[in-house]
Structure 1
Amino acid sequence: MTIRIVPATLACAAGLLAASTALAQQSPALKEIPADKAKLTGAMTVDYNSRSMRSSSGTDLYEISDLSVADLMILKGSVQRTPGKSLVYSVKFDVMNPSNPSQIAREVAIMRGDLQIDANGRYNPDAGRLRIDVVKGNQTSSAFGGSIQGRNVTRWWEVGEQFRKAQKEATKIYSRVVDGKLVSIQVKNPDPLRFERTQLAAGPFSFLPETRVSGNLDYDYELGNWLTDANGVTFTYTVADRSFTDRVSGSIRFVEEENTFTDKAGKKRPYTGYYEYNLRWNEQAVNTDQSFFDGGQAQAQSDAFFSAADQSKPGLYGRVYYNDSEDACKRVKGEGGKDQCVGPTRSEVNWDLKAEKLTYAQLANWVKLEMLILGPLTDE
């Protein structure tokens, strides 16, 4: 039987599509954050009790204070981490009135539950019922799901050995377009965080959708950087029956230096290093067949690859500062048989990031993902 589609049917379908598009465009999720509000700022202290001689608990404590996500929400609370076993969340959300950000509703929602880690280093939010519960107003619950394959090395004192092995193993090429030119770097045996249909919970606002994440965030042992490969990290979600996919690419580069910075309260604070964010949303994809590495131009290529001079494209830019200390650290035999600290016993962390031309959904999705990978991100 032949089905005939008459012009009236086509017109009706076109009208429904237009209506769906209009509804999606009206959603706060898809609104671009005003430039003067587009910031991610706040602080966190991490006590690595698993590395300290002062503690026998073996449980690391992350305490988040006033992590402000634009004029959208504020996160504060704690995460308890038993390395190699689990992270237990109790992170509360204050939400701002979209019409009047000076009006703040306190502790409207909470991210709670466990992020279990299995024997293969895989993070499983389903196993610990990790979720966002809206506990005031219209109460709802939305779960995190899927899994994240964690890095192969999670213990600080194994990093040196892993790097020595990496020097003898395969390299991976990373490329991006900078000022219209293809630049590439090579990394020796990177260690990936692999997102396997990872599900980010909806909320705490009803317009922030459930989101699926896939792709890799690779760690470079030699320089301590995080990188995306040619596929990037993709976020897929639906708003008003329209599907959206964002591809995030770029780098989070580690810089080890001692200096001071000015926090959002105007106070000078010391730091021992920082991560420099140069992440782009939906930037020009690179044809991997064109990727190359010119060993004679390695440093120039690296400088260009990590350059954050151009911050005009949609992305997340700025620094996350670390002030690390090693008081009462546990020690292991290092190179040459000398005892060395297994890592910092305390970190004071401060976010100072700018979101350029991102929507509320895009920034919220990235913050939720960072909360899931809090352990690996702060390990080095």
Structure 2
Amino acid sequence: MTIRFAPATFACAAGLCAASLLASGAALAQQSQALKEIPADKAKLTGAMTVDYNSRSLRSTSGTDLYEISDLSVADLMILKGSVQRTPGKSLVYSVKFDVINPSNPSQVAREVAILRGDLQIDANGRYIPDAGRLRIDVVKGNQTSSPFGGSIQGRNVTRWWEVAEQLRRAQKEADKIYSRMVDGKVVSIQVKNPDPLRFERTQLAAGPFSFLPDVRVSGNLDYDYELGNWLTDANGVTFAYTVADKSFTDRVSGSIRFVEENGNFTDKAGKKKPYTGYYEYNLRWNEQAVNTDQSFFDASAAQAQSDAFFSSADQSKPGLYGRVFYNDSEDACKRVKGDNGRDKCVGPTRSEVTWDLKAEKLTYAQLANWVKLEMLILGPLTDE
């Protein structure tokens, strides 16, 4: 059965109204959608992606890694699909299309309404600069608009596979950093050796594809732990600042994305059983009570207990993003380097099958959309190891 839409009606419902309507009461109702808490049964981030790391493969001469995103569903808001081509150390080229879901009637979906496109350039210092390659979200149906990404992201000090071993050796010798959070009313802390920050320097996320999703300023760090493969926020968290209906909001995201290397099976959203070789466990919380620096103390004698408590995601009642992103990695035809033991080893996976299975707890549509846009910008660093 073919579903037909009344174009003007659905364009407005999808946030693609003409500018004159955006000043009306209907526009204010649309904008309130940004601040609406996502219904629990819809509050999911699910989908799949395959990554062919051609830069690591003996079978490829292109040196360009290919990310193919398929049906990344963001609650009952939008669906992303498309590709990102990455030349390590140089750029990422985006062509990711958005299907948008009618907020008033979720059975209605407008296909390929907008496109995330352009280049994310990487300079000689490892800084990602979106506006150098005109990275943007273009609304190409209805009221056509273009909204840019901007600012910069200072990439990790090491993003190339052949330098990871050296970075790990350095981490074992250099400065430690303490990370703390509140668990059951108590402060728990862990210590990481020489974490490598992914620093957001007035990073601007593009508005759209709905008119009620504004542009956003991001600041703070996501720190990478080379020894365990985890991502962590420090005491400042990662902050998202934006304006909806002339009111300013600032969200502080804190917590961890913990890497677990193990083999197993999971069931995807279509009910199909799939294998995995590891996963990232998300335990990110929005606007959680911050821990004062003078409360942070690492007790080496209780390191394991502190670590277990810090990474525990047993309490998922607080506003946040929880669940797992599964990886099924293979190393067919991989390039090799000598390891510390003098033996040749693969430089890393040549292919990853990635599956998102995340739950958004008590988040608004704007909060979840903001995180997804940021994650699209840092696909390279997130999938490096």
Which TM class, normalised by the smaller chain length? over 0.9
Query: Does the 8 Å contact 2:31/2:245 carry over to 1?
Result: no
Q: 1:18 to 1:265 in 2, by over 3 A?
A: closer
* Distance apart, 1:164 and its partner CA: 1.1
What root-mean-square deviation, in Å, do the aligned CA atoms of Structure 1 and Structure 2 show?
9.1
Gaps of 5+ in 1: none
Distance 1:24 1:252 in 2: 35
Query: Does the 8 Å contact 1:43/1:351 carry over to 2?
Result: yes
Distance 2:320 2:141 in 1: 32
Distance 2:156 2:333 in 1: 27
Query: Does the 8 Å contact 1:24/1:239 carry over to 2?
Result: no
* Distance apart, 1:4 and its partner CA: 60
* Distance apart, 1:54 and its partner CA: 0.6
Query: Does the 8 Å contact 1:308/1:317 carry over to 2?
Result: yes
Q: TM-score, normalised by structure 2?
A: 0.93
Distance 1:346 1:149 in 2: 26
After superposing on structure 2, the runs of 4+ consecutive aligned residues of structure 1 that deviate more than 6 Å are: 1-22
Deviations, residues 253-301 of structure 1 (Å, cap 9, x unaligned): 0000000000000000000000000000000011011100000000000
Deviations, residues 216-248 of structure 1 (Å, cap 9, x unaligned): 000000100000000000000000110000000
Distance 1:140 1:2 in 2: 28
Query: Does the 8 Å contact 2:95/2:116 carry over to 1?
Result: yes
**Size of the alignment, in residue pairs?**
380
* Distance apart, 1:149 and its partner CA: 0.1
Deviations, residues 87-137 of structure 1 (Å, cap 9, x unaligned): 000000000000111111000000000000000000000100000000000
Deviations, residues 328-357 of structure 1 (Å, cap 9, x unaligned): 000111112211111000000000000000
Distance 1:355 1:150 in 2: 27
Q: 1:312 to 1:22 in 2, by over 3 A?
A: farther
Residue 24 of structure 1 aligns to a residue whose secondary structure is helix
Q: 1:331 to 1:287 in 2, by over 3 A?
A: same
Distance 2:14 2:239 in 1: 29
Percentage of pairs with the same residue: 90
Q: 1:371 to 1:7 in 2, by over 3 A?
A: closer
* Distance apart, 1:379 and its partner CA: 0.4
Gaps of 5+ in 2: 16-20
Residue 254 of structure 1 aligns to a residue whose secondary structure is strand
Q: 1:212 to 1:24 in 2, by over 3 A?
A: farther
User: Could you tell which deviates more after superposition, 251-260 or 14-23?
Assistant: 14-23
Query: Does the 8 Å contact 1:123/1:149 carry over to 2?
Result: yes
* Distance apart, 1:163 and its partner CA: 1.2
* Distance apart, 1:14 and its partner CA: 32
Larger Rg: 1
Query: Does the 8 Å contact 2:182/2:188 carry over to 1?
Result: yes
Deviations, residues 135-175 of structure 1 (Å, cap 9, x unaligned): 00000000000000000111223222211111111100000
Query: Does the 8 Å contact 1:20/1:242 carry over to 2?
Result: no
Distance 1:81 1:289 in 2: 42
Distance 1:307 1:5 in 2: 46
Distance 1:242 1:72 in 2: 22
Q: 1:7 to 1:183 in 2, by over 3 A?
A: farther
Q: 1:177 to 1:355 in 2, by over 3 A?
A: same
Q: 1:140 to 1:18 in 2, by over 3 A?
A: closer
Query: Does structure 1 residue 11 correspond to structure 2 residue 15?
Result: no
Q: 1:30 to 1:12 in 2, by over 3 A?
A: closer
Query: Does the 8 Å contact 1:46/1:62 carry over to 2?
Result: yes
